[in-house]
Amino acid sequence: MIPDHHAARAAELARAMAAAGARLPRDWPKELRPADPAAEPTRNKGEFRDG
Amino acid sequence: MSAILHTHCMQSGIASLADALAALEAGRITPDALLERCLDAIGRRNGALHAVLHLDEAAARQASAAPRRGALGGIPWGIKDTFDVAGLPATANSRLRAGRIAPADAALVSRLREAGAVLIGKLATWEYGTGTGAEHFDLPAPPARNPWDTTRFTGGSSTGAGVAVATGMALFAIGSDTTGSVRLPAAATGCCGVVMTPGRLPLDGALPNTFSMDRPGPIAWTAEDVAIVMDAICGTRLRAAGGAGVAGLRIGVLRDPGPGFPAPDGELASALEDGLAVLSRLGARIRDAALPWPAAMCLDAARLIGAAESAAIHERELRENPDVMGAALRDKLLAGSGVRAVDYLAAQRFRRAFTEAIDAVWDEHDVILSLGALHLPPRLGVEPESTAYTSETMLTPASLAGLPALVQCNGFSAGGLPLHWHAMARAGNETALFRLAMAYEAATPWRERRPA
């Protein structure tokens, strides 16, 4: 999908992204599912405290 | 360049939105006259600062001439150009959207109209409200400039919001924040910027940057002003609750940015210590705090999630018009297109673990206080200063975990640039943030300075 004349830059940026990914922990338990806190507001234990 | 003066608004006793509301309610000023002050500031300053992208003077005059109504009746405000306002250009500072006129108001615009606020127009933004931190001077509008030093960056991506508020062009502004795009501009321009718990403010009618981390956010001159705006449109009572003071408030302090980040600027670090002494005198209980994982790791995860989701949202533009967009947006989307699925999922798994682990922090602390940016606002367009400024921050833990967070000015550097700190709290507990920020600003003189 990436035009040829941007391919070199795309490859350079993809390497940077892969490096960021490699710095993240990988030893999660297999049942730890990816999550989206924004889409799961009830998962966070916070309560609204509006005074 | 960084001289500091009192504005004519301050000389007349109207330095903040709260002052303006009090003056309006007492009949000491009319909405027309208040709007005139903002239009005058835009006329004098916007040619050099480029904060207002599309001025809607006629509609603003019409709105301010109407009978005053609502909690924000007669208060002039501006909004980032990534939000739709019916009948106004909605270009997100992109040639890809040149000539686009919004068909309807974003939900947040509707709420603020109902509250009586007077919209002055659309404010500057990085293209599509995103970027890499780099400034390439290749967008339709020139970049906004920092009013404290016009050679310096304003913070992004809501580049016009802080500038407009600091200079009195508007009494508050709405931006959007994925990994700091409201909080960083507030830090760079000496304002207060807030992201609320996800879901508090609607995103309908805003150009999305990511699926899962975007949040609208207000910027105003004081924390009290932000509380007034949120109370008007969120149904909160933050102004009253924030006035309770900090006695007994449990503040956890993060002094060390942790592995992967440099030591912070010395003046920012000193201002943090000075501010802690003020909070301690006011009765706050201050202890050291720690994050479950370093902020630099949160940045890695947020970068992967943000870039990949942006690329998914804007895939068609990248495929069809990569040479029409500016270099920063293109680089961001190219980077996102190259994120491996396993890395995206590693980032999301880290996000879940971090979000769950930080819940335990709130058993000991009501607020985590740290710096936001680790550097002073950099010279505009000078890399790697600008990319370091936007990436080496303590802002992304709150972005990843969906926590409310606030940036507040806590002094000025020897060169006259605003200093700041960053506070975050458990989801739903905005009250703790406003207790801290309102008590601090009432006890310190920093709101008396404005950029010349």
For chain A, list residues whose CB is within 8 angstroms of any CB belonging to chain B: 1-3, 6, 9-11, 13-14, 16-18, 20-26, 28, 32-39, 41, 43-51
DSSP tag of B127: G
Domain of B274, in residue numbers? 17-448
Q: What's the pLDDT at B1?
A: 34
Which residues of B fall within a CB distance of 8 Å from A38? 198-199, 212-213, 402
Q: Which two tokens stand for residue B61?
A: 């005059």
Question: How far apart (Å, rounded) are the C-alpha atoms in residues B259 and B257?
Answer: 7
DSSP three-state, residue B176: strand
DSSP three-state, residue B4: strand
Cα of B410 vs its chain's centroid, Å: 16
Q: Which two tokens stand for residue B322?
A: 């990569």
Catalytic residue among B64, B157, B310, B386: B157
For residues A26-49, average pLDDT:
67
For residues A13-41, average pLDDT:
83
B11 within domain boundaries: no
Note whether B212 contacts A38, CB cutoff 8 Å: yes
Note whether B353 contacts A28, CB cutoff 8 Å: yes
Axis-axis angle for helices B341-358, A7-23 (nearest 10): 40
B257 within domain boundaries: yes
From B409, B329, B441, B255, select the one nearest B93 (Cα to Cα).
Answer: B329
Judge whether B93 and B123 are in contact, CB under 8 Å: no
User: For position B65, which CATH number holds?
Assistant: 3.90.1300.10
Query: What band does A50 get if pLDDT is binned at 50, 70 and 90?
Result: low
Q: What's the pLDDT at A29?
A: 87
Question: How far apart (Å, rounded) are the C-alpha atoms in residues B392 and B262?
Answer: 8
B157 among known catalytic residues? yes
Q: Which two tokens stand for residue B45?
A: 């300053």
Note whether A35 contacts B352, CB cutoff 8 Å: yes
B349 within domain boundaries: yes
- B449 Cβ contact partners less than 8 Å away, ≥ 6 residues apart: B4, B190, B412
Catalytic residue among B16, B64, B176, B181: B181
DSSP tag of B152: B
Q: Kind of pairing, strands B367-370 and B285-288?
A: unpaired
B80 among known catalytic residues? yes
Residue of chain B whose alpha carbon sits nearest to that of A7: B334
Which residues of A fall within a CB distance of 8 Å from B322? 2-3, 6
Q: What's the pLDDT at A35?
A: 67
B199 within domain boundaries: yes
Q: What's the pLDDT at B167?
A: 98
Of the candidates B212, B304, B427, the beta carbon closest to that of A36 is on B212
Note whether B319 contacts A1, CB cutoff 8 Å: yes
Structural domain count, chain B? 1
Q: What is the pLDDT of residues B200-236, one digit of tens each?
A: 999 999 999 999 999 999 999 999 999 999 999 999 9
Q: What is the DSSP string of B27-89?
A: TSS-HHHHHHHHHHHHHHHHHHH--EEEE-HHHHHHHHHSPP-STTTT-EEEEETTB--TTSB
Q: What residues of chain B score a pLDDT lower than 50?
A: 1-9
B389 within domain boundaries: yes
Q: What's the pLDDT at A39?
A: 57
Q: What is the pLDDT of residues B120-171, one digit of tens each?
A: 999 999 999 999 999 999 999 999 999 999 999 999 999 999 999 999 999 9
From B404, B212, B383, B368, select the one nearest B295 (Cα to Cα).
Answer: B368
Q: What is the DSSP string of B214-243?
A: -EEEEEESSHHHHHHHHHHHH---HHHHHT
What end-to-end distance do the CA atoms of chain A give, in Å?
51
Phi, psi of B139 (to 5 degrees): -100, 165
B176 among known catalytic residues? no
Catalytic residue among B2, B16, B64, B80: B80
Residue B281, Ramachandran bin (φ over 0: left; ψ between -120 and 50: alpha; else beta)? alpha
Where are any strands of DSSP class E within B327-430?
367-370, 405-412, 418-425
Note whether A24 contacts B343, CB cutoff 8 Å: yes
pTM: 0.95
Residue of chain A whose alpha carbon sits nearest to that of B357: A44
Query: What band does A31 get if pLDDT is binned at 50, 70 and 90?
Result: confident
Q: What's the pLDDT at B8?
A: 43
B2 within domain boundaries: no
B145 within domain boundaries: yes
B4 within domain boundaries: no
Question: How far apart (Å, rounded) are the C-alpha atoms in residues B426 and B242?
Answer: 16
